[in-house]
Amino acid sequence: MIQEHTFPTKEKLKSKKLIDALFIEGNSVKAFPLRMVFIETVLPYPEITLQAGVSVSKRNHKLAVTRNRIKRLMREAYRTHKHMIDTKGTTFAILIIYTGRGVITYQELERSMVKLLKRFNDAITITHP
């Protein structure tokens, strides 16, 4: 039985080298209040095609409680809509960054996540037709 809507540990972006590479040579797409930085790379697990991480700026959200809530909402929105991504057999590392200053509702975040994933698909279609 395959579960589509999961976010297992193997799919979580944790490598410091990959995260640094994302900011140095990665491309990005935006759908306010989200920004996705992505890079085509070789991942440590051959069975997965995508590793993802989420981030919220400490500058914009001082309280850890607020940052953690936003990150939980972002992971949930990503988990439920990641099936929309078509990597066309290549492997990517992505980091989704929350750029807004206020806290938004889950419904608004979900709408932005869907837009962001569609823009990501469009961006990788251009480079990998």
Structural domains counted in the chain: 1
42: confidence class by pLDDT, cuts 50, 70, 90: very high
Residue 75 domain-assigned? yes
**Residue with structure tokens 């938004």?**
104
Residue 107 domain-assigned? yes
Q: CATH number for the domain including 70?
A: 3.30.230.10
5: confidence class by pLDDT, cuts 50, 70, 90: confident
Residue 1 domain-assigned? no
- Is residue 129 pLDDT above 70, yes or no? no
Q: Tell me which residue range forms the domain holding 41.
A: 9-127
Average pLDDT, integer, range 105-120: 97
End-to-end Cα, the chain, rounded Å? 32
The more confidently predicted of residues 3 and 31 is 31
Residue 47 domain-assigned? yes
- The type of residue at 8 is P
Q: Indicate the pairing of strand 92-98 with strand 34-40.
A: antiparallel
- Write out pLDDT tens, residues 49-92: 999 999 999 999 999 999 999 999 999 999 999 999 998 889 99
Question: Is the whole model's pTM more than 0.75, yes or no?
Answer: yes
- Is residue 108 pLDDT above 60, yes or no? yes
Average pLDDT, integer, range 28-40: 97
Q: What's the pLDDT score for residue 3? A: 58
Query: What b/e string do you get for 96-123 counting C-beta neighbours within 10 Å, with b at 16 or more?
Result: bbbebeeebeeeebbebbeebbebbeee
DSSP tag of 82: G
